[in-house]
Amino acid sequence: MTGKLLTVAGLRAGYGSVAVLQGVSLDVAAGQIVAIVGPNGAGKTTLMSAIMGLLPRQGEVRLDAAAAGSTAAMVAAGVVLVPETRALFADMSVADNLLLGAYPRRRAARTDRDAARADVFALFPRLAERRHQHAATLSGGERQMLALGRALMARPRLLLLDEPSLGLAPRIVRDIFRVLADLRTRGLSILLVEQNARAALDIADYGYVLELGEIVLEGPSAELAHDARVIATYLGTGRQT
């Protein structure tokens, strides 16, 4: 196995007095896609926010073996989150959203930014067509493309994706996941949380099952996808098969 890019150990986090994560541990190796699956309310979004430093965290989050810092420090170190809400700049154009995605690299040469944008447009030609439209006018699939594109503009090393399939048609989910697999071949590491367990485990190298703020199961994703408990709980078809 290659070196660990992200190490999470005994992570606890929550909102106010409510503890959501009860000591979560996981790793993301460089160049891997790691999936975290689990039902609504399991703490998936909290986990992403805590890793990113959006929530106060107890326990260990390490990036390249160095303790992870604030959100700004994470972004500067090449960790970019695409949140469940997408958090697009709705009243700004697609082009401006992408431009702001490159904000962490604003001191880099202009050609560098143009190259990143060319890459994004090559991945998502639709964004090139709509570059002058406001983000608010995009369809659900296009919004997710823009959210991914904005994240890629920062040329990240580790991409955190919170429910990338949320509200998308199966065809578009397949397209998006194909892009993710493609990104991995270019050396990008991805940590994604998904409710759509099957789609997520299909492209992932390794998977974790999160339930009530705890990791209850982990393993290579091909094994997890066929684990009877996962099928029963998350795919709902256990009783028939």
Partner 1 sequence: MTLLPAYDITLAGYAGLAAIVAIGLTLLTGVSGQTSFGQASFVGIAAYAAALLPDGPSGLLAGLALTGAAAWLLGLITARLSGHFLALCSVAWGISFYALFGTLPLLHGFNGIGGIPPLRLGPLSLAAPAANVALIWLVVGLALLASRNLLTSRTGRAMRTLAGARAMAESMGIDTVRLARAVFVLAALLAAVSGFLFAHFQRFISPTPFSLTASIEYLFMVILGGAAHLGGAVLGAVLVTVLREELTDWVPRLTGATGNYEAMAFSLAVILFLQRAPRGLWPRLARRAARPKPRRAAPAQPARECPIADGVALEIEGLRKHFGGLAANQDVSFSIRTGEIVALIGPNGAGKSTLFDIVSGQLAPTAGTVRLFGRAVVRLPARRIAALGLARTFQHVKLLADESVRDNIALGAHLAGRAGMLRALLRLDRAEEARLLAAAEAAAARVGLDDMLDMKAGALPLGRQRIVEIARALCLAPRLLLLDEPAAGLRLQEKQQLAALLRQLRGEGMAVLLVEHDMGFVMDLADRVVVMDFGQKIAEGAPAVVQADPAVLEAYLGGVA
Partner 2 sequence: MTPFVFLALLQDGLTSGAIYLLLAMGLLIVFSVTRVIFVPQGDLLALATLTVAQLQAGGVPGTLWLLDALALAALLGEIAGGRTTRRTLAAWLIYPAALTAACWFGPRTDPWFAMLLGIAIVTPFGPLAWRFVFRPAADASLLALLILAMALHFVLAGVGMVLFGPDGASVAPLTSATLMAGPLAISGQSLAVVAICAALVGGLRWFFGATLTGKALRATASDRLGARLVGIDAAESGARAFALAAFVAALSGVLIGAVTPIAYDTGFEIGLKGFVAAIIGGLASYPAAAAGAVLVGVLESLGSFWASAWRDVIVFALLIPVLAWLSLRQRAAGEP
Q: Are 50 and 25 in contact (CB under 8 A)?
A: no
Backbone angle region of 47, left / alpha / beta, with phi > 0 → left and psi within -120 to 50 → alpha: alpha
Residue 148, Cβ neighbours under 10 Å: how many? 25
CB of 101 to partner 1, least distance (A): 23
Selected from 91, 109, 111, 228, the binder of partner 2 by CB under 8 A is 91
Alpha-carbon gap, residue 172 to 208, rounded angstroms: 24
Q: How do the residues of the chain divide into helix, strand and coil, expressed in percent and rounded to 5?
A: 40, 30, 30
What does the DSSP assignment read for 142-172? Answer: HHHHHHHHHHHTT--SEEEEE-TTTT--HHH
Determine, following the binding rule CB under 8 A, whether residue 197 of this chain makes contact with partner 1. yes
Interface with partner 2 by CB under 8 A: which range of 31-39, 83-91, 124-132, 222-230? 83-91
Q: With CA atoms as reference, report the closest residue to 4 among 53, 68, 87, 47.
A: 68
Stretch that binds partner 2, among 26-34, 91-99, 198-206, 227-235 (CB under 8 A): 91-99
For residue 109, what are its two tokens? Answer: 């040469």
What is the spatial distance between Cα 239 and Cα 199, in angstroms, rounded to a whole number? 21
Q: Which of 1, 9, 90, 181 binds partner 2 (CB under 8 A)?
A: 90
Single out the residue of 56, 103, 112, 137 in contact with partner 2 (rule: CB under 8 A).
Answer: 103
Q: Where in 32-71 is the site for partner 1 (CB under 8 A)?
A: 39-42
Ranges within 83-142 binding partner 1 (CB under 8 A): 137, 139-140
Q: With CB under 8 A, what is the number of residues at the site for partner 1?
A: 36
Residues, the chain, total?
241
Interactions with partner 2, residue window 36-75 (CB under 8 A): 52, 54, 71-72, 75
Using rule CB under 8 A, residue 96 touches partner 2? yes
Long-range contacts of 167-170 (CB under 8 A, 24+ apart): 167/140, 168/140, 168/141, 168/144, 169/141
DSSP state of 235: I
Q: Which does 103 bind (CB under 5 to 8 A by kind): partner 1, partner 2, none?
A: partner 2
Question: Considering the complex, what minimum distance in angstroms separates the CB of residue 222 from partner 1?
Answer: 16
Establish if 163 lies at the interface with partner 1 (CB under 8 A).
yes
119 binds partner 2 (CB under 8 A): no
- Which of 2, 18, 91, 228 touches partner 1 (CB under 8 A)? 18
> What H or E segment, with its residue span, contains residue 115?
helix 110-123
Partner whose footprint covers residue 96, from partner 1, partner 2, none (CB < 5 to 8 Å by kind)? partner 2
- Cβ of residue 235: shortest distance to partner 2, in angstroms? 31
Binding site for partner 1 (CB under 8 A): 16-20, 39-42, 137, 139-140, 163, 165-170, 173-174, 195-199, 212, 232-240
